[in-house]
């Protein structure tokens, strides 16, 4: 049996002295999508950053592709794991084309320049998010939603094996939220890659992910298949607010009551 793309063993997430999540054992195999849900500050972003060595964490408790994170170099990790950040910094001027090409950076060793195939990948990614007509535009002239789509194109260009998405629906209108997640889900299933996304949108999580990690913020968590974790009781407990659902022809829709 092949090892899962990402696995954690008794992982503890903490910021300062505050323990966000303790004894976390998760595993995401090829083709699987996991959503991380929880209140603000419950550790969703910290979990994603930990998997990429972007914050203080016991690296020996995380395995990517069957190998402990301690043994991964930054560059190799960047070829395998890609992240969509919650916020993008663009103080320095850059065009859409330059930004999307950055996704190829981990794959270019030393002095090597981008090849035709790198450019083709980038062009394709821009087409998938509908930005192909804007390649020469300055990033600072784009709208919030266009920037988010650009960041997603950049991630597609990086073509990692594990996609980490921090609030992927940020700034996107409803049709693009569905389009983007559909596209990413299809990509993950087609390429046998994996996806972990932190989100506030329970309905997107229910629709596109097969596993749910629900962080309660006090160190405890609920993990399991979407159908088991997404119940009114567990959600209401985690969000500290009454949540109910209605059944529709595309599945359950969750909404807050109080």
Partner 1 sequence: MSPFRQYSLLSALTALLVISIIIALSSGSVSVPVSTLWQQLWQPTPGIEQQILWELRLPRAMAAFVTGGLLALSGVIMQVLLRNPLADPYILGISGGAAVGALAVILLGVASVWISQAAFAGALLSVFVVFGLAGRQQWSATRLLLTGVVVSAGWGALINVMLTTSTSNNVQSMLFWLMGDLSQSQTHGWHFVLLSGGLLLILSQAQALNALARGELMAAALGVNVTRLKLLLYFSASILTATAVTVAGSVGFVGLVIPHMLRLLGARDHRWLVPCSVVLGGSFLLLADSLARTIVAPQQLPVGVLTAMIGVPAFLFILHQGARSS
Binding marks (x or -) toward partner 1, 102..141, rule CB under 8 A? x--xx-x--x-x-----------------------xx--x
Binding to partner 1 (CB under 8 A) within 143-172 occurs at 158
Binding marks (x or -) toward partner 1, 20..39, rule CB under 8 A? --------------------
Q: How far is the CB of 91 from partner 1 (least distance, A)?
A: 5
Per the rule left: phi > 0, alpha: psi between -120 and 50, beta: everything else, 155 is: alpha
Q: Can you spell out the DSSP letters for the chain?
A: -PPPSEEESSEEEEETTEEEEEEE--EE-TT-EEEEEESTTSSHHHHHHHHTT-S---GGGEEETTEEGGG--HHHHHHHEEEE-SS----S--BHHHHHHGGGGGG--TTPPP-HHHHHHHHHHHHHTT-GGGTTSBGGGS-HHHHHHHHHHHHHHH--SEEEEESTTTT--HHHHHHHHHHHHHHHHHHT-EEEEE-S-HHHHHHH-SEEEEE-SSB-EEEEEHHHH--HHHHHHHHTS-EEEEEETTEEEEEE--
- Quick one: 52 or 235, whose CB is closer to partner 1? 52
- Quick one: 108 or 241, whose CB is closer to partner 1? 108
Residue 214 and residue 235 in contact, taking contact as beta carbons nearer than 8 Å: yes
Q: How far is the CB of 102 from partner 1 (least distance, A)?
A: 6
- Quick one: 93 or 246, whose CB is closer to partner 1? 93
- Quick one: 9 or 119, whose CB is closer to partner 1? 119
- Quick one: 73 or 248, whose CB is closer to partner 1? 73
Q: How far apart are the first and last CA of the chain?
A: 46
Q: How far is the CB of 92 from partner 1 (least distance, A)?
A: 4
- Quick one: 59 or 137, whose CB is closer to partner 1? 137
Binding marks (x or -) toward partner 1, 70..99, rule CB under 8 A? ----xxxxxx--xx-x--xxxxxxxx-xxx
Using CB under 8 A, count the residues that bind partner 1: 34
Binding to partner 1 (CB under 8 A) within 41-60 occurs at 49, 52-54
Could you list the residues that contact partner 1 (CB under 8 A)? Answer: 49, 52-54, 74-79, 82-83, 85, 88-95, 97-99, 102, 105-106, 108, 111, 113, 137-138, 141, 158
């Amino acid at each position: 049996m092949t090892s899962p793309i990402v696995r954690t063993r008794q992982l503890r997430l903490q910021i300062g002295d505050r323990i966000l999540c303790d004894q976390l054992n998760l595993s995401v195999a090829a083709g699987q999508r996991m959503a991380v849900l929880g209140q603000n500050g419950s550790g969703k972003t910290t979990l994603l950053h930990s998997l990429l060595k972007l914050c203080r964490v016991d690296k020996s408790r995380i395995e990517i592709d069957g190998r402990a994170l301690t043994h991964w170099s930054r560059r190799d990790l960047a070829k395998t794991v890609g992240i969509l950040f919650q916020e993008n910094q663009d103080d320095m001027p850059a065009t859409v084309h330059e930004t999307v090409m950055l996704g190829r950076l981990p794959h270019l060793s030393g002095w090597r320049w981008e090849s035709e195939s790198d450019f083709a990948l980038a062009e394709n990614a821009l087409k998938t998010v509908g930005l192909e007509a804007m390649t020469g535009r300055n990033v600072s002239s784009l709208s919030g939603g266009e920037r988010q789509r650009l960041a997603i194109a950049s991630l597609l260009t990086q073509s990692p094996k594990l996609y980490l998405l921090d609030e992927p629906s940020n700034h996107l209108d409803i049709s693009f939220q569905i389009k983007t997640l559909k596209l990413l889900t299809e990509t993950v299933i087609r390429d046998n890659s994996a996806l972990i996304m932190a989100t506030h949108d329970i309905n997107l999580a229910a629709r596109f992910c097969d596993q749910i990690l629900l962080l309660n913020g006090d160190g405890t968590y609920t993990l399991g298949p979407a159908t088991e974790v997404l119940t009114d009781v567990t959600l209401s407990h985690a969000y500290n607010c009454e949540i109910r659902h209605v059944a529709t022809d595309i599945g359950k829709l969750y909404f807050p009551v109080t």
